[in-house]
């Protein structure tokens, strides 16, 4: 077994997620595609496979077990400001029961996600070029990673969250100031600290839903 595969499997296991052979291969293939297309699409500031593995793949995998806990069933997931597909593509690989839409305002980034869906044969994944404010539809889970401030994220996607659905916002340090400025109609029910293997940085997920009427 190759070193990247070892690192990926061990990291995923430490995050409470067991990878099948196919999932591990798809994740590594996605990382390779990101580096390959990076010169044209400017998907990431990272330039080497080891950094992509820890800072993108494992960092996004950290959300998979918590998401399984908060939303175990089928549904539609919208990943806002997804860029090259983080964490949306990783979630699509691990959760074939979720229909994942990676939304980005930059056309070439949405096109890249479409390319990934085709090359990795992920029928539950699509890239969409649009602004979140102008989108219509209904999603059981709305995620973001390193996107805008929490108030902007919640305000922009409020009209898209299905009844009973959840917001999953991946952040670095606990964003205390942003949490103090939440819009009406948003109820944060859990701020979950994450420890990402190989990543010496603070990470958390802010979980929220609409308050019960």
Q: Please spell the DSSP secondary structure of 86-151, one letter per residue.
A: TTHHHHHHH-TTEEEEEEESSHHHHHHHHHHHHHTT-TTEEEEES-GGG--S-EEEEEEES-S-HH
Average pLDDT over residues 184-207: 95
Between the CA of residue 73 and those of 16, 128, 141, 199, 212, what are the distances in Å?
18, 23, 11, 30, 20
- CB of 194 closer than 8 Å to CB of 204: yes
Which is nearest to 212 in space by CA: 150, 164, 154? 164
Q: Confidence band (pLDDT; 50, 70, 90) for 155?
A: very high
Identify whether 49 is part of a domain. Answer: no
CATH of residue 68's domain is 3.40.50.150
In this model, does residue 2 exceed pLDDT 80? no
> β-strands 125-129, 187-194: how paired?
unpaired
What pLDDT is attached to residue 119? 97
Q: How many domains does the chain have?
A: 1
Residue 170 is assigned to a structural domain of this protein: yes
pLDDT tens per residue, range 27-86:
999 999 999 999 888 888 888 888 888 889 999 999 999 999 999 999 999 999 999 999
Asked, for residue 138, whether it belongs to a domain, the answer is yes
In a domain, 106, yes or no: yes
User: What tens digit of pLDDT does each residue of 7-18 get?
Assistant: 999 999 999 999
In a domain, residue 53? The reply is: no
Q: Identify the domain containing residue 175 by its residue range.
A: 60-209
Residue 36 belongs to a domain: no
**Would 11 be classed as within a structural domain?**
no
Instruction: Name the DSSP letter for residue 183.
Output: P
Neighbour-count burial for 175-199, b at 16+ CB within 10 Å, e otherwise: beebeeebeeebeeeebbebebbeb
Which residue's structure tokens are 């059981």?
140
């Amino acid at each position: 077994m190759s070193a990247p595969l070892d690192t990926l499997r061990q990291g995923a296991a430490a995050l409470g997620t067991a990878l099948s052979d196919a999932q591990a291969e798809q994740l590594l293939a996605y990382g390779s595609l990101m580096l390959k297309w990076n010169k044209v699409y400017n998907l990431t500031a990272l330039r080497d496979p080891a950094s992509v593995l820890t800072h993108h793949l494992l960092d996004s995998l950290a959300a998979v077990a918590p998401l399984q806990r908060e939303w175990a069933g089928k549904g539609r997931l919208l990943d806002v400001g997804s860029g090259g597909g983080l964490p949306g593509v990783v979630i699509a690989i691990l959760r074939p029961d979720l229909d994942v839409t990676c939304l980005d305002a930059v056309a070439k980034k949405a096109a890249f996600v479409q390319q990934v869906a085709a090359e990795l044969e992920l029928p539950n994944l699509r890239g969409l070029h649009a602004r979140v404010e102008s989108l219509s539809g209904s999603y059981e889970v709305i995620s973001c990673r390193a996107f805008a401030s929490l108030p902007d994220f919640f305000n922009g996607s409020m009209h898209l969250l299905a009844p009973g659905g959840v917001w999953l916002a991946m952040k670095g340090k606990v964003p205390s100031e942003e949490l103090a400025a939440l819009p009406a109609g948003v109820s944060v029910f859990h701020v979950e600290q994450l420890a990402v293997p190989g990543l010496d940085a603070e990470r958390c997920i802010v979980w929220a839903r609409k308050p019960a009427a």
